Amino acid sequence: MGDLAREGHRAVDLHVGDLRHVLDPMLDRDRLRVAGDIENVTVPASRSAE
């Protein structure tokens, strides 16, 4: 359980630029799936920043 919480916290700390750097190579391969992953990660990050 602790590992899952730690992973979630780390995902929230990521910046959009970091996500693009990691996921950009995948965009050509599976654009729709990566777009969904970006949305899932950045929405909670944006809400926590408010």
Work out how many domains the chain is built from and give that number.
1
Angle at 10 between CA 35 and CA 18, to 5 degrees: 50
pLDDT tens, position by position, 6-23:
555 555 555 666 666 666
The predicted pLDDT at position 3 comes to 55
Q: What percent of the chain has pLDDT over 70?
A: 0
pLDDT computed for residue 1 by the predictor: 44
Query: Residue 9 and residue 11: Cα distance in Å, rounded?
Result: 5
Record the pTM: 0.18
> Which residues constitute the domain of residue 36?
2-49
Contact 34, 3 (CB under 8 A): no
